[in-house]
A and B are shown apart, each in its own frame.
Chain A
Amino acid sequence: MDALNALVAFANFVFIPGLAYGAQLAMGALGVTLIYGILRFSNFAHGDTMAFGTMVTILLTWGLQSLGISFGPLPTALLALPFAIGITGLFLLGTDRVIYKFYRAQKVKPVILVIVAMGVMFVYNGIVRFIIGPDDIGFRDGVSRLISPREFKEWSGLAEGLGLRTTTVITLVTAFIAMALLFWFLNKTRTGKSMRAFSDNEDLALLSGINPERVVMVTWMIVAALATTAGVLYGLDKSFKAFTYFQLLLPIFAAAIVGGLGSPQGAIAGGFVIAFSEVTVTYAWKKVYNYLVPEAWETTSLLQLLSTDYKFAVSFGILIIVLLFKPTGIFKGQSV
């Protein structure tokens, strides 16, 4: 019985939150890794792209809510999401046309593009804060829990409750659909194949008549979809705040690098590796431990390896270990 309680506590506090967070990071990392593979630079504006997409979603959600439209038990934001993806995509394409295209034509070194991305980051950050402000914004509506811990306790008779939030399920389902679509697109469609060819060998791709501008355009659209979805899922799960999204840059890059920059499979694996390590290292294991050991061994200490404030240190630590021992990541990524 105690082992069951330990299992439920583990699922409730470690496994399910880790899974949801991992899916969000993986979506973010996919965007970073695609830009790296096709456009060949580390996009430091990605956190702010996510913030921009989420901001558009929130504004549209407010608009829908004021019209009295809702999505039943699901958050209204999901209705707004497709339109927000479109707007964000146009915004990214505009950025590319005005800013990145010039440098691409000049074939500058990747590090110059990174500096350009830094400028873009400033502008995006300013735009988001200018329009929606720097504060915390919650935009979740609909049913909040599918299973409440209390109901679970009554049903199972266990001392531990298992809660399942709607946002968790939405995150996992949406992320799964998005990833499945992405891999189908990359592996089965003509455009997707041309993107992979372009990523593998630019010269050869150009030689075989692939239009580079088209590849770049499609990439930005996909990145807009991934970034907006990742941002909205994260915001539904927690809340939206411009600065938090900017800070997500570190775990997202850690995930992309750990998985191997340029490799979509790697980005997904990296996202879950980073998320589970953050959650396991910063979780207080006291409860699970006390259920598992005989009464005499029970402890009053929290059994927390690091305080939650150090979660950045965890993603960073894993990043360094991977960089030192396997610089191309788990799945072999590219190196420019």
Chain B
Amino acid sequence: MTSSMKNVSLFLGMAVLIAITGHLNSWNYALTIVNFGLISAIMALGVNLQWGFAGLFNIGVMGFVALGGLATVILSMPPTEGAFAAGGLRVFGGLALGAATIIAAIKVRRSMAPGRRRTIILLAVLIGGFFIFRWVFDAGVDAIESINPASTGYLGGINTGGKDRGWMTLLAWPIGGLLAAGAAWVIGKTALGLRSDYLAIATLGISEIIIAVMKNEDWLARGVKNVSGIPRPVAYEVELQQDQDFLQRAGDIGLDPVMASTLYVKLSYSFLFLIVLITLLILAELALKSPWGRMMRAIRDNEDAAEAMGKDVKGRHLQIFILGSAICGIAGAMLTTVEGQLTPTSYQPLRFTFLIWVMVIVGGSGNNFGSILGGMFIMWLWLIAPEAGTWIVQTITSPLAEDHWLRLHLLGSVAHMRLMTMGAIMLLVLRFRPNGLIPER
């Protein structure tokens, strides 16, 4: 069997798995898995770009995903009335002053000769700047957060049309990518020159900080109070169920209106996600086959040799780090769109950073198709694991009494078994098939 035949059959196998899930459980559930699988596949593409092409060890995926989610809120929520007038200027003025402080400090450090004088001036700039920043910023924050805190209490987005302009949410996807790219630029500028595991710690730290900011800065996106009811780019089930034309067609295929409308909404999302995934896949494949892609792999395989050939290793690393992070940001915006709400507490590193890594490793690092397969497969496993686990535990412990403590404990802890499963799969693949399901060509 040729390798391309094998790859096609792997993807067919994946489709069969989803079809079986749809048959045994429900098609609605199968489509949920498909949608989350597509989003995960995009995240895996982003990580694969960084790790597979360039050997950059980024374990801050969660932060970029969360920034994408933030972009969705900013772009698609209606602005809170009076919030900007109350404290917007102070907040943004404060942030600008904070940025100015850092720039001034860098300028001072660059332009003055090292010595005690420089240290004192540097400290004065930083400390003074910090207090001015807090003085301007805090009052603005208080003003914004006091506007109807139970339902808003934040700046809101820029979508003045609200629900009627659901397409604004689509705009959030590229903007989410840009936001993540901006963050990646800052991180890359500071941390990319460092060794691989330092970059790992730096990205891990940044992602925790991004989540901390989203949890605590209520003026930005309501913090842990969550933003819900984000306008959709696709139809609403309730509206579909009142649409005579739609009901007619649903009746023709023999589906009841509720089922038909949920399936329709999910399929619309699948369609949109598939467009994004295919576009990104084509771009990534073209990039990989271009001279640029060959240069990237050359740098990955031997940095010194590539540098000796006159390649700008640091610059290229920064470039691909930004690109990969931007893809994670796009996927993050899509995730918040399909969930319809932003819940900062749901961003867990195991789920949004390390699980993506499992996808890339299992799928095959350095191969875009592998990442997509890994993303779909691991997401499928992750989502069905609790239910499958319950079933397995019930079967194994069936000889025990209904209320036996071991049986009850096992059933209660089934949810944690999937962490073990993911780790075990990753370790098995690393050991016995280190190149993944679809190896790099």
Indicate if A6 sits at the interface (CB-CB under 8 A).
no
Per-position 1/0 for B380-419, Cβ under 8 A of A: 0000000000000000000000000000000011001111
- How long is the Cα–Cα vector from A130 to B361 in the complex, in angstroms? 25
CA A316 – CA B210 in complex, angstroms? Answer: 12
Given contacts A111-B197, A307-B216, contact A125 B204 (CB under 8 A): no
- Fill in one digit per residue for B402-441: 1 if any A CB lies within 8 Å of its CB, else 0: 0000000000110011111111101100110000000000
Is residue B282 contacting chain A, with contact meaning CB distance below 8 A? no
In the assembly, what is the distance between CA of A310 and CA of B215, in Å? 10
A305 and B59 CA atoms in complex are apart in Å by 28
- Evaluate contact between A320 and B423: CB separation under 8 angstroms: no
The residue in B194, B196, B216, B430 that gathers the most chain A C-beta atoms within 10 A of its C-beta is: B430
Is residue A127 within 8 Å, beta carbon to beta carbon, of the partner chain? yes
Is A102 part of the contact surface with B, judged by Cβ < 8 Å? yes
Residues of chain A contacted by B421 (CB below 8 angstroms)? 126
A310's nearest neighbour on chain B, judged by CB, is B212
In the complex where A133-B413, A257-B201, A320-B190 touch, is A126 in contact with B419 (Cβ < 8 A)?
A: yes
The answer to the question of B202 belonging to the interface, with a C-beta cut-off of 8 Å to chain A, is yes
A112 CA / B430 CA spacing, docked (Å): 9
Residues of A within 8 A of B426 (CB): 118-119, 122
Chain B residue contacts of A119, Cβ below 8 A: 358, 423-424, 426-427, 430
User: CB-CB < 8 A to B418: which residues of A?
Assistant: 126
Name the interface residues of B57-78: CB closer than 8 Å to any CB of A: 57, 59
A41 to B424, CA, bound (A): 20
Chain A residues whose CB sits within 8 angstroms of the CB of B55 once the complex forms: 111
Q: Report if A313 contacts B (CB, 8 A).
A: yes
Task: Give bound CA distance, A125 to B354, whole Å.
Answer: 12
Number of A-B contacts (CB under 8 A): 125
Contacts of B215 in A (CB 8 A): 309
B205 touches A (CB below 8 Å): yes
Cα separation A307 to B430 with both chains bound (whole Å) = 41
In the complex, A24→B223 CA distance in Å?
Answer: 30
A102 contacts B427, C-beta separation under 8 Å: no
| Contact between B416 and A42, CB atoms less than 8 A apart | no
Say yes or no: A118 contacts B357, CB within 8 Å: yes
Given contacts A130-B413, A323-B194, contact A122 B419 (CB under 8 A): yes
Does any Cβ of B come within 8 Å of A204's Cβ?
A: no
Q: Is the CB of B201 within 8 A of A126?
A: no
Q: Tell me the complex Cα distance, A120–B430, Å.
A: 11
Residues of B close to A133: CB separation below 8 A: 412-413
Confirm or deny: A129 has a beta carbon within 8 angstroms of a beta carbon on chain B: yes
**Contact digits for B209-233, partner A, Cβ 8 Å, 1 yes 0 no:** 1001001100000000000000000
Whether, in the assembled complex, B313 has its beta carbon less than 8 Å from a beta carbon of chain A, the answer is no
B110 on interface, CB distance cutoff 8 Å: no
* Nearest chain A residue, comparing its CB with the CB of B414: A130
Given contacts A102-B431, A114-B200, A250-B205, contact A324 B190 (CB under 8 A): yes
Using a Cβ–Cβ cut-off of 8 Å, how many residues does chain B contribute to the interface with A?
43
Whether A316 lies near B206 (C-beta < 8 A) is yes
Q: Nearest Cβ in chain A — how far from B420, in angstroms?
A: 3
B92, CB-defined interface residue at 8 Å: no
Contact B430 A42 (CB under 8 A): no
Contact check, A126 vs B420: say whether CB atoms are below 8 A apart: yes
Residues of B within 8 A of A41 (CB): 197
- B residues near A336, Cβ cutoff 8 Å: 195
Q: How far is the CA of A327 from the CA of B194 in the complex (A)?
A: 8
The reply on A293 being an interface residue by CB < 8 A is no
Please determine whether B216 and A130 come into contact, CB atoms closer than 8 angstroms. Answer: no
Q: Determine whether B208 belongs to the interface, using a CB cutoff of 8 Å to chain A.
A: yes
Interchain nearest-CB distance for B190 vs A (Å): 6
Identify A120's interface contact among B59, B198, B427, CB under 8 A. B427
Which residues of A does B touch, CB under 8 Å?
Answer: 41-42, 44, 99, 102, 110-112, 114-116, 118-127, 129-131, 133-134, 246-247, 249-250, 253-254, 257, 305, 307, 309-310, 312-313, 315-316, 319-320, 323-324, 327, 335-336
Q: List 30 A-B contacts (CB under 8 A).
A: A44-B59, A99-B427, A102-B431, A110-B197, A111-B197, A114-B57, A114-B196, A114-B197, A119-B430, A122-B354, A122-B358, A123-B424, A124-B423, A126-B417, A126-B422, A126-B423, A246-B350, A250-B204, A254-B201, A254-B205, A305-B130, A307-B216, A312-B205, A316-B209, A319-B205, A323-B191, A324-B190, A327-B194, A327-B198, A335-B195
